[in-house]
Amino acid sequence: MAVRDPSTTTASVLRVSLYILISLMAIATARPLAEGSESESSFVWGALPSAAAVGVSMAIAVVVLLSGRASLCPIGRVWLVVYGLLTTAALGVGLILYQNDPIETARDFATFIFFGSAVAIGSSRAVWSELRGPVLFACLLSVALGVVGVMQHLHFSEDVATGTRLAGRDTALNNLLPVFGMLPLAILFSPWWRPRDLIVVVFAWCSALTSATLIQSRLESVYWICCGFIAMILVTKNYCTLGYRPVAKRSFVMAVCVCVMAGAIGVYGETIKAQATSLLERLDGKLDTNLSYSSALAVLGSENERWVILGSCWNDFGFSERLCGRGMGGSFEWTAPIDEAVGERVRLERQDNLWLDDASKFGRRHMEVGWGNPFIKGGVLLTGWIALGGVVAIAAAIRSRSPFAVICALVVIMNGAYAAFGGDFIIGAKEKLLGEGLAIGFLLSSLVGSDPWIGNLRNDPFVRASRRVKQ
């Protein structure tokens, strides 16, 4: 009787688990669609899938560790252990010292545990060898949800003034964007895809960019443009492809990309043009007479309101809070008079985002600067340790001769930059945290010196056929 290879069984379990994990995150992200169809249940569409996604990610991490396939090198193990201790300490600080709301505490703790689990999962060669199918599945879900969100937006777009982000709240498109968080893995790994797979990735990228433009998100728009630009370089230069992709097939893929973009512009041309013009005017300070940056890059500097809020948070914290934060569930409540908004557009946005009892005030509980959220929860210790993991991972990629490691470093840099200039590090960003954690886990592991997909490619019938054609 044939004996089944245990490694094959482990890989199958991991593959199925990844499909389940991505499905759960997509369901949780699609909650606004249920709200729009008046069939919303916060438990069924929100809390339950989110909690289940955290549980599945932890289960996958345990399987990876117990199967002996985890290959975290010593620095990776030390980083993960200290990260777990800091996260647990932040949980205790929130519950015991600050007596934070238990539900918010659980939500924050689950998010940080999810990120740690992703790092452990990313250290497994078996996961990377099985990742292509689940990532393509995530792209298909992104396309489907993105199309529904765009249709919702266009249905209400005539009632919303161009240049505001109210449309994002009214049609829930803004809340659908996190489903695209797995896309950087697909985009930046594009040289490995077959042409028909790459077409799915291109459609998903177009859906992400269109959605970001329609909701007036400068950050998301720049994020996807940068991802697409990097992917185009990788495909065009045949980078990391081991020389197996013929020029004709690359040309075919590029032609499909052009057709997809032309179609998107043709269907949504007027809306996209109006929104893109509004974005440029907003950046240049022309949309509101009182809103003006000294330069286009000043939006990334001290003139950006996000950094002002971060400075206020730092000044509001005492020494111990700066060091250890306010624990899981902690928050920094920043307020400002609505009447002091820089223009009518911003005033409307603030009125629509009220959460204070005082109707004349506008406030935020969470930091819009992504790395401000770990600072609120765990202070300089937790924030610095997370950043250290990214820096060490990028340094490992630089030292490595693996082209695949360079791609993982790009994922870390892209997501890290997104968080630094306004991204999120709380429950709405699980998909980006998954991609970030997977890449960091790989780069902190002993796999960093090799390409985990080389064997997979050598055994791929498509690769063998392409090589025979070239010969």
Cα(157)–Cα(209) distance, rounded to whole angstroms? Answer: 17
Token pair, residue 333, equals: 């409540």
pLDDT reported for residue 38: 54
Sign of the Cα torsion 425, 47, 431, 392 reads: positive
pLDDT reported for residue 312: 81
Residue 408: closest CA among 438, 371, 370, 388 = 438
Torsion region of 411: left, alpha or beta (phi above 0 gives left; psi -120 to 50 gives alpha): alpha
CA of 46: how far to CAs of 17, 49, 120, 369, 432, in Å?
20, 6, 25, 24, 17
Task: Judge whether 415 and 432 are in contact, CB under 8 Å.
Answer: yes
Cα(186)–Cα(203) distance, rounded to whole angstroms? Answer: 12
Cα(133)–Cα(24) distance, rounded to whole angstroms? Answer: 16
Tens digit of pLDDT per residue, the chain (471 long)?
444 445 566 778 888 999 999 888 888 877 766 655 555 555 555 678 888 999 999 999 998 888 876 678 888 999 999 999 999 999 999 999 888 888 888 888 998 999 999 999 999 888 888 888 888 898 888 888 888 777 777 666 665 555 555 444 445 566 666 677 778 888 877 777 777 788 888 888 888 888 887 777 777 777 888 888 888 777 766 544 444 455 556 566 667 666 766 666 666 666 666 666 766 666 565 544 445 555 555 556 555 667 777 888 888 888 999 999 899 988 887 777 766 665 655 666 666 555 566 666 666 666 767 778 888 899 999 999 999 999 999 999 999 878 889 889 998 998 888 877 766 666 557 788 888 899 999 999 988 887 777 766 555 554 455 555 555
Neighbouring CB atoms inside 10 A of 118's CB total 23
Cα(20)–Cα(233) distance, rounded to whole angstroms? Answer: 32
Token pair, residue 208, equals: 């992400």
Task: Judge whether 216 and 170 are in contact, CB under 8 Å.
Answer: no
Sign of the Cα torsion 70, 72, 76, 81 reads: positive
CA of 369: how far to CAs of 106, 364, 416, 424, 446, in Å?
22, 12, 11, 7, 32
**Per-domain boundaries in the chain:** 131-292
Burial class (CB in 10 A: 0-12, 13-18, 19+), 83: buried
Task: Judge whether 379 and 87 are in contact, CB under 8 Å.
Answer: no
* Residue 362, beta-bridge partner list: 336
pLDDT reported for residue 381: 94
Token pair, residue 35, equals: 């709200």
- One-letter identity of residue 184: P
Give me the helices (H) in 157-217, please: 166-171, 173-176, 183-188, 195-214
DSSP H or E stretch at residue 103: helix 102-122
Coil/strand/helix, residue 285: coil
Cα(433)–Cα(316) distance, rounded to whole angstroms? Answer: 28
Task: Judge whether 413 and 395 are in contact, CB under 8 Å.
Answer: no
Residue 185: closest CA among 244, 249, 126, 142 = 142
Q: Hey, what's the torsion of the CAs at 256, 261, 265, 267, to 10 degrees?
A: 50
Cα(235)–Cα(237) distance, rounded to whole angstroms? Answer: 6
Which residue is associated with the tokens 């360079």?
Answer: 406
CA angle 59, 61, 67 (to 5 degrees): 100
Q: What's the alpha-carbon Rg for the chain, to the nearest Å?
A: 23
- One-letter identity of residue 421: F
Query: Angle at which helices 74-92 and 372-399 pack, to 10 degrees?
Result: 180
pTM for the whole structure = 0.83
Task: Judge whether 123 and 70 are in contact, CB under 8 Å.
Answer: yes
pLDDT reported for residue 243: 47
pLDDT reported for residue 305: 67
pLDDT reported for residue 220: 79
